[in-house]
Amino acid sequence: MSNLLCAKWPFFAFKIEFIKLNLLQMQSIMAPSNIKEKLHHYIDTADEKKLQAIYTILEDEIEGEYFYTQDEIKMFYDRREKHLNGETKSYSVDEAHRLIRKNRKNGL
Per-residue confidence of the chain (108 residues) as pLDDT tens digits?
444 444 554 555 556 666 666 666 665 567 788 888 888 888 899 889 888 888 888 887 777 777 888 999 999 999 999 999 999 988 889 999 999 999 988 877
Report the candidate in 66, 39, 31 with the shortest Cα–Cα distance to residue 55.
Answer: 39
The pLDDT score that the predictor gives to residue 107 is 79
Q: Give the number of C-alpha atoms closer than 13 A to the C-alpha of residue 32, restricted to the C-beta side.
A: 0
- For residue 36, give the H/E element and its range: helix 32-45
pTM for this prediction: 0.34
Query: For the chain, which residues make up each domain, given as ranges?
Result: 1-30, 34-65, 70-105
CA angle 14, 19, 21 (to 5 degrees): 95
